[in-house]
Amino acid sequence: MKGKHPASVVIVGGGTAGWMTASVLSRAWGNREDAPVITLVESPQVATVGVGESSIPPLRTLLSIIGVDEKKWMRHANATFKSALKLSGWGGKSSRPYYYHPLFCWGENETSFFDDWLHARRHEGFNEPFDFCFYGSHLAEAGKAPKMGHEAPNAGRMQYAYHLDAALCADYLRGWCSDRGIRHVLDHVTGISLDDKGRVANVHTRQSGDLKGDIYFDCTGFRGLIINQALGEPFESYSDVLFCDSAVAISSFPQTGVGSLGSETTATALSAGWSWDIPLQNRHGTGYVFSSGELEPDEAERELRQHIGVDVEQGDTHLIKMRVGRCRRAWVANCVSVGLSTGFIEPLESTSIFCIQSGIVEYLRCLGQYESEAEQQTAYNKRIGDLFEGIRDFVLAHYHLSGRDDSEFWRACRHHANVPDSLQTILERWDEDGDVDDLLLAHPSTAIVGKTSWLCIFAGLDRLPGRERKGALKGATSKDLMRRIEELRADAALHADHFAYFNGNSG
């Protein structure tokens, strides 16, 4: 490690971001003789966001490195496995009713059959969807967990993810941290003092005195209590690019049909955004991410209830205003912001928990790579900035390429005036001859999705290249592709049912 690790750490905020930060730092430094003192303060008055129920595969790796037992935490957080994102109604009238963005098996992302698939489709009348060339889509179709009955926790060939109750997951990590000596202060932070160099000197609490550290993690959610309010770092909004800025969530829609849990997050396009449906062990998490420029909250709630078939009396609703964009810099002076305080891109691709994970991991990486704080900060801020820009473009592609034109919202997305150059260049080349490999490799979204994810979105929305890349063909015919699809389908059917897996009698 080039830079020294701090002697004392203060984390403000006890949502997913705060407790993940505490867990990872404790795992990284906890066993050293000179382990830092880590204090986490959270307000009993300010609730956490409390949604955030769908993740992507790297969370599995992180939890396994921390040393959390998969079956135990999944039971605690009512979690289920996720194999794919199902995008329903995004294509418009002439398209398939839904398509998948599957999670991939190890290696599957790198060996795409897209060019062969396109050739077979155009010249051999092959009409199976591109996303069916991947295992995750078949697990979702079959409603199976990405586990065979005998597979141990954290094992398996799929890079699967989880659906989870974010509040319960944070609660699990809280217990894990308290067993490892993290100091937990339940108190409201009333102010932040800066020293004469503009660095954080103290965090003042209502009843527990002042908290002092060498480094402060701002995990206070959309408020950005330290990074924005105390240090004055500007927030750069993406509202001219991504139009959804609000969400209404219904949190207590009970789980039905126990034993037949799906393994996909469903995102259904509605009139001014999309609705999520996330299967947990005890309930469905549902909500509507929408543009407040197009719908009032009560209109959004009515449309959501109609869509999921829950009447007005059932289910507690929760309106959330979303601050979409990112802080210009995530690490300023001696404060690193992690979680919603750094930034947020609407949850269509479930990337926010991953941004938390990247925020902490990149912090440790920069400490290891550079000696001076200035170098560490410059590298960190560039990596986090790129991460957000990459996700922004990927999420925007879903809207901009949609075939829907049945509302002002969808027409505005299709005829978007502010598509960033970083995305526009990819789309132009794609339309021409599909030769976008080099552009995607250089695009900042590589930190989170590979080329095949982009291809699934393009193909799912029927946006196919004008010309074929003959040189890229691998020689798979429509027969070969069909055989592969049938094998995946048959294999998926052998997988475990979610509840059977947890009850230990899967197979």
Ligand X SMILES: Cc1cc2nc3c(=O)[nH]c(=O)nc-3n(C[C@H](O)[C@H](O)[C@H](O)COP(=O)(O)OP(=O)(O)OC[C@H]3O[C@@H](n4cnc5c(N)ncnc54)[C@H](O)[C@@H]3O)c2cc1C
- Catalytic annotation, residues: 82
- Least distance from C-beta 170 to ligand X, angstroms? 7
The structure tokens listed for 112 are 């795409």
Q: Taking CB under 6 A as the rule, does residue 16 contact ligand X? A: yes
Nearer of residues 44 and 254 to ligand X, judged by Cβ: 44
CB atoms within 10 A of CB 448: 18
Of residues 314 through 333, those in contact with ligand X by CB under 6 A are 320, 322
The encoded tokens of residue 267 equal 């995102």
396 part of the interface to ligand X, by CB under 6 A: no
Nearer to ligand X, 261 or 436 (CB): 261
17: left (phi over 0), alpha (psi -120 to 50) or beta: alpha
Sites for ligand X among residues 46-105 (CB under 6 A): 46, 48-49, 51-55
Q: Report how far residue 43's alpha carbon sits from residue 133's, in angstroms, rounded to the nearest whole number.
A: 48
State which of residues 80, 228, 352, 453 lies at the interface with ligand X (CB under 6 A): 352
H or E element, residue 278:
strand 273-279
Q: Which of 24, 25, 40, 41 binds ligand X (CB under 6 A)?
A: 41
Smallest gap from residue 163 Cβ to ligand X (A):
8
Nearest CB to ligand X, comparing residues 219 and 327: 219
Taking contact as CB under 6 A, which single stretch among the options 39-47, 295-303, 469-477, 479-487 is the one that binds ligand X?
39-47
Distance CA 276, CA 133 (A): 25
Q: Which helix (H) or strand (E) holds 63?
A: helix 58-66
Integer Cα distance of 274 and 304 in angstroms? 9
Angle formed at CA 112 by CA 148 and CA 384, multiple of 5 degrees:
85
C-alpha pair distances (Å), 180 with each of 12, 25, 73, 378, 433:
18, 11, 17, 32, 55
Q: Supply the minimum distance, in Å, between the C-beta of residue 287 and ligand X.
A: 6
Nearer residue to ligand X within complex by CB, 130 or 160: 160
In the complex, the smallest distance separating the C-beta of residue 12 from ligand X, rounded to whole angstroms, is: 6
Question: Least CB distance from residue 44 to ligand X, whole Å?
Answer: 8
Residue with tokens 């944070």, as numbered in its chain: 170
Q: How far is the CB of 340 from ligand X (least distance, A)?
A: 4
Number of residues that bind ligand X (CB under 6 A): 37
Q: Which residue, chain included where needed, has tokens 């005890």?
A: 282
Indicate whether 264 belongs to the interface with ligand X (CB under 6 A): no
Judged by CB under 6 A, which stretch of 16-24, 91-99, 109-117, 234-242 contacts ligand X? 16-24
**In the complex with ligand X, which residue's Cβ is closer, 38 or 41?**
41
Which token pair is 53? 């129920």
**DSSP state letters, 391-424:** HHHHHHHHHHT----SSHHHHHHHT-S---HHHH
> Contacting ligand X (CB under 6 A), which of 13, 262, 385, 444?
13
Span from 10-18, 95-103, 379-387, 422-430 in contact with ligand X (CB under 6 A)? 10-18
Rounded CA separation 35/53 (Å): 32
Q: What is the distance between the alpha carbons of residues 202 and 416, in angstroms, rounded to a whole number?
A: 45
Q: 135-142 and 478-493 are packed helices; what angle lies between their axes, rounded to 10 degrees?
A: 50
CB atoms within 10 A of CB 372: 10
Residue 67, CA distances (Å) to 1, 14, 160, 214, 249 in order: 22, 20, 18, 27, 32
> Does 116 contact ligand X by CB under 6 A?
no
CB of 151 to ligand X, least distance (A): 25
Q: Does 359 bind ligand X (CB under 6 A)?
A: no
Query: Which residue number, 158 or 244, has a Cβ lying nearer to ligand X?
Result: 244
Q: Tell me how far apart the alpha carbons of residues 327 and 225 are, in angstroms, rounded to a whole number.
A: 12
Residues 6+ apart with CB under 8 A from 128: 481, 482, 485
The CA-CA-CA angle for residues 89, 91, 94, to 5°, reads 105
Does residue 183 bind ligand X (CB under 6 A)? Answer: no
Q: Which of residues 242-261 bind ligand X (CB under 6 A)?
A: 247
Which string of x and - marks every residue 197-226 that binds ligand X (by CB under 6 A)?
----------------------xxx-x-x-
Give the residues lining the site for ligand X (CB under 6 A): 12-18, 41-43, 46, 48-49, 51-55, 166, 188-189, 219-221, 223, 225, 247, 287, 320, 322, 339-340, 347, 350, 352-353, 356
